[in-house]
Amino acid sequence: MHRLKTKLLEGPHAETVDRLGNFGRYLLRRFIDDRCFEAAGSLSYTSVLAAVPFAAVVFAALSAFPIFDQWTQQAADFVFANFVPEVARNLENALREFAGSARGLPAKGILALALSVGLTMWSVEKAFNRIWRVPSPKPKLLRFLVYWGLLTLGSLLVVALMALNSALSVYVNLADYAPSFLDGLGLLLAPLLLEFTAFTVAYWLIPHRDVPLRYAAAGGAVALLLFESLKWLFGVYLGSVSFERIYGAMALVPITLVWLYSAWVVILLGATIAATLSSFRYRPKHVRQARGIDLYWVLRVLARLEEAARRDARPSFDELAVLEPHIAEPMLRGYLAGLARIGLVQCDNHNHWWLAAPLCDFRLKDLHEGLGLRVPAGEAELPSRGDHIDDRVLPIIAVLRGALAAPLQRPLSACLEEPAP
């Protein structure tokens, strides 16, 4: 094992192994820092409260399209057969009954149901925005349109997939192909395609940030694999444990809560992966191990903002992270927050940054004291980029190092000796 570890860490693939390990640690840290386990718990309880209103709203959306009436019942069976564990299927009849009763409510009751669904989707958006580090949510009208679009299009997508499955079966029979293989393949792929599409669209549309579709798809693919694995493990575990014997008629309650909590953990993990792929910047080991060089990084960030000011531009946080890939995201956020605290920079609600005052109004002492930065003294190696920014920053560091070199070489005995009488 030790030889294998040495081979991986020192062999030709050492950088790839280090990159994957760095990404995994960064992903885990973000998942924990964003309180995703707590968010999953909150969303699981919110989902229970919103399940009936959600079903009523979905059925109402489908009823607006008479062409889909014949598929609505089949779509509901399809969803419960593929996305709910076998042991929790008793929820289906109860949910249908409650949703049917809800559809007969007066206008005020329907409004209350819609508000509860909106509250659930707002909680999801809030969790996603925290994962993507979004400083402000979408405008209210846009949020409503996104919520309603996801509900309507999601319902139509389920029905359309059922229609496609049926059409495929008819075509197979007419074309005299082997119906068992193709029809079975279609039934196998349909729920997987629906899950992947739902995860990807949610990661792409819900956060108030431009999420690259390829990253949303990557998060959706991982969420799909984990969700299917979770369903299998959940079925195996609950198949060997008799919750009815312990909880009796109330067995459905803990089963549903545990399932929803686990499902939300998977969904939020997929969202974290999509967000991490957008923000992760690989930093080589020698850069990560460098200590006491914060002043160097801050001067580079200020040089970037000064260049942007000359172009009358306001770079976003993501653009700054791309320009300075060796600065870890938490460090960059801390530097910008410190600079904003002393009044040197500021940002808007879209996380765009710019200089709030002329650089001539500040001194190096303001950075040293205001941000608590250490001067990179001695022979500490700087992760120099060798670019035009370094041409401006490195001379400053060299002057500071030169001024401190002699005093730092004094022996402690000379520094602490008794003063002459």
21-44 mean pLDDT: 90
pLDDT confidence band for 169 (50 / 70 / 90): low
| Weakest mean pLDDT among 95-104, 208-217, 258-267 | 95-104
For 197, counting Cβ atoms within 10 Å of its Cβ (0-12 exposed, 13-18 middle, 19+ buried), the class is middle
Could you give the CA distance from residue 129 to residue 79 in angstroms, rounded to a whole number? 28
Asked if residue 183 lies in contact with residue 110, where contact means CB atoms within 8 angstroms, the answer is no
Q: Rounded distance, CA 402 to CA 399, Å?
A: 5
What percent of the chain lies above the pLDDT cut of 90? 19
> Does residue 291 register a pLDDT over 80?
no
Over the range 31-68, which residues count as b (16 or more CB within 10 Å of their CB) and which as e? beebebeebbbbbbebbeebbbbbbbbbbbbbeeeeeb
> For residues 118, 139, 349 and 313, what is the CA-based torsion angle, rounded to 10 degrees?
140
pLDDT at 175: 47
CA dist., res. 58 & res. 377, Å (int): 64
Residue 285 binned pLDDT confidence (cut-offs 50, 70, 90): low
Please, which pLDDT band fits residue 345 given cuts at 50, 70 and 90?
Answer: very high
Query: Measuring CA to CA, which residue among 226, 232, 297, 318 is closest to residue 267?
Result: 226
Which structural domains are found in the chain, ordered by start? 7-279 (no CATH), 292-413 (1.10.10.10)
Residue 268 has pLDDT above 50, yes or no: yes
- The pTM of the whole model exceeds 0.85: no
Tokens of 165: 């499955």
